[in-house]
Amino acid sequence: MSESPIFIGGLDRTGKTSLRLMLSSHPNIAITRRTYLWTKFYNRYGDLSNPDNFERCLADILALRSMQVIDPNPDQIRIEFMSVAPSYGNLFAIIYRQYAVRQGKHRWGDQLALIEHYTKEIFSAYPAAKIIHMVRDPRQRYVESMDTYSKIKGRLGWDIARWQHSAELAVNNREKYPQSYKVVNYETLINDREHTLKKICDFIGEKYFPSMLSMDGAMSFSDVDDGERQEGSKNEKEQGKSSSLSHREVAFVQSYVRQSMQDFGYPLEPLDFSFGERLAFSVLDYPLNSLGAVAWRVLASDQPS
């Protein structure tokens, strides 16, 4: 049984699901979606060698809605866990592995936004693991995320702070683990699928199959997956598009994360402001969205990691 899992991370609306569907179409690979094992359970229940801690943790895992699809066997988990070191990584691996075996595959993985926060812990548990971090032009990604932040003042700043944090993690993790951590641009995956997917297969050490492009045989976990499957079959030339943003919104994004955008190959749009637009941007937009960015960073710093 291979213990070289594949994790797909990055923000929402960056193509994680499309990539998971492609990789899950591979005859050797089964990748789950949103199990939340690392983000909700890692180190939250104390020492798992204590049977009470283990049972509490397992009960809460099994209660997750996402687990109903994966349908792990609790009795088999208990049996297998008794034969390994009582660690969170081993517990999670047993659950992932059960799903892969039921799919008739030997390599497992998971897709979850911001799982890259746990890069050090993942590589400690699974030294041969591979992590793929999806990134997307922050302007276009925000267009598709607007509804999520519709009630937040300074919502653009809030979202761009999240993007900047993800971008920083991508750069830092790639530099620290160059052989095991790969950053993939959404636009590259969508616009040059075959070439990009071949490079990803090389990275994870698997043979490329043309059927991966059509996502044949991939497990769908929700209606959202079905929608992304259809979207993923189109050749969408989206890089650089931000027509749904105002000049002032584009100006904030490009001023706030200019260097990160350039680092990931996203060109800056030329902007021709009138005097009134420039004044409104300076007096209203930039201060309000900067406060939104600060608010997100303060809230994020209070979250457990």
Structural domain 6-301, CATH architecture: 3-Layer(aba) Sandwich (3.40)
Residue located via tokens 């749009």:
269
Angle between helices 247-256 and 138-145 (to 10 degrees): 130
Q: DSSP secondary structure string, 132-196?
A: EEEE--HHHHHHHHGGGGTTSTTHHHHHHHHHHHHHHHHHHHHHH-TTTEEEEEHHHHHHSHHHH
Residue 273: the pLDDT is 83
Instruction: Over range 223-245, report the average pLDDT.
Output: 47
For residue 114, count other CB atoms closer than 10 A to its CB. Answer: 19
pLDDT of residue 215: 86
What is the bridge-based pairing of β-strands 181-185 and 130-135? parallel
User: Which of 139-143, 242-246, 267-271, 276-280 has the lowest average pLDDT?
Assistant: 242-246
> Lowest mean pLDDT: which of 80-94, 170-184, 223-237?
223-237
Q: What is the pLDDT of residues 99-115, one digit of tens each?
A: 999 999 999 999 998 89
pLDDT for 176-214, tens place per residue?
A: 999 999 999 999 999 999 999 999 999 999 999 999 998
Across 265-280, b (16+ Cβ under 10 Å) vs e yields ebeeeeeeeeeebeee
Q: Please write down the long-range contacts of 262-270, taking CB distance under 8 Å and 24 or more positions apart.
A: 263/167, 263/171, 264/135, 264/167, 264/183, 264/185, 265/185, 266/137, 266/138, 266/139, 266/239, 266/240, 267/240, 269/139, 269/240, 269/242
pLDDT of residue 96: 95
Q: What are phi and psi of 214, to 5 degrees?
A: -90, 0
| Nearest Cα to Cα of residue 288 among 252, 258, 254, 257 | 252
